[in-house]
Amino acid sequence: MFPEEVIRLCPRLNNEDFEKINFDFNDQFYEYFNKLIYTHPGKTTMELIPLIEKYEFTPETLELAFRLFNTFKCTYYGVCGPFIYKQERWFPVYNKKYTDNLILAEENSKLQKENDELKKLIAQLQS
């Protein structure tokens, strides 16, 4: 379904993680979460936490959820995930034109960061 080089960028659960799983997600949450990541690609775990309104995540539980979705492709792929973790940022795996979309998402994330830095600089100069 997805190229192997893409799947290798999707972190999966390890043996110790299975004991930590205690989520109560439903089908509506999977669709919500997938849409959220598609509309906010390239965000860090900490940037995503305040955006997620339908579940209370910590940094550890959010990363565990990403790995859960990546591990069980028969259950979640096509509904939620898979998700790439690259340079401490999360990206959805796009079904079409994956490479172009990933490049655009990374550039968007970079520009958002630069924009935030420039806003801070302007605020400092106006003070």
Render the chain in DSSP notation, one character per residue: ---HHHHTTS----GGGGGG------HHHHHHHHHHHHHSTTB-HHHHGGG--SS---HHHHHHHHHHHHH-HHHHTTTS--EEEETTEEEEPPSSSHHHHHHHHHHHHHHHHHHHHHHHHHHHHH-
Given this model, what pLDDT does residue 46 score?
Answer: 97
Given this model, what pLDDT does residue 90 score?
Answer: 94
Given this model, what pLDDT does residue 127 score?
Answer: 83
- Residue bearing tokens 């998402």: 105
Given this model, what pLDDT does residue 96 score?
Answer: 52
The size of the chain, in residues, is 127
Mean pLDDT by 10 residues, the chain (127 residues): 75 89 90 92 95 95 94 78 90 66 75 92 91
User: DSSP secondary structure string, 64-101?
Assistant: HHHHHHHH-HHHHTTTS--EEEETTEEEEPPSSSHHHH
Can you read off the two tokens belonging to residue 27?
Answer: 């089908």
Residues 6+ apart with CB under 8 A from 104: none
Given this model, what pLDDT does residue 106 score?
Answer: 75
CB neighbourhood size of 108 (10 A) = 13
